[in-house]
Amino acid sequence: MYLIQSDTVTKTDDFSITAAIPYYLDVADHNTGTGTGYMLKSGTAMAAAFQVSADGSNFVGLPANNLFSGSASCNAIPGTITYSQATGASETGTYTITLDFTLSGTA
Segments making up each domain of the chain, as ranges: 8-102
Q: Cis omega before residue 63 (within 30°)?
A: yes
Largest CA distance in the chain: 49
- Phi, psi torsion values for 34, nearest 5 degrees: -70, -15
* Strand residue runs (E) in the chain: 8-19, 23-29, 40-41, 44-45, 51-54, 60-61, 64-70, 74-86, 99-105
pLDDT at 6: 63
Neighbouring C-beta atoms of residue 31, cutoff 10 Å:
19
CATH number of 8-102: 2.60.120
The CA radius of gyration of the chain, in Å to the nearest whole number, is 15
Task: Show the low-confidence residues of the chain (pLDDT under 50).
Answer: 3
Q: Which amino acid is at 88?
A: G
Output the pLDDT for position 57.
Answer: 86
pLDDT of residue 27: 92
pTM: 0.82
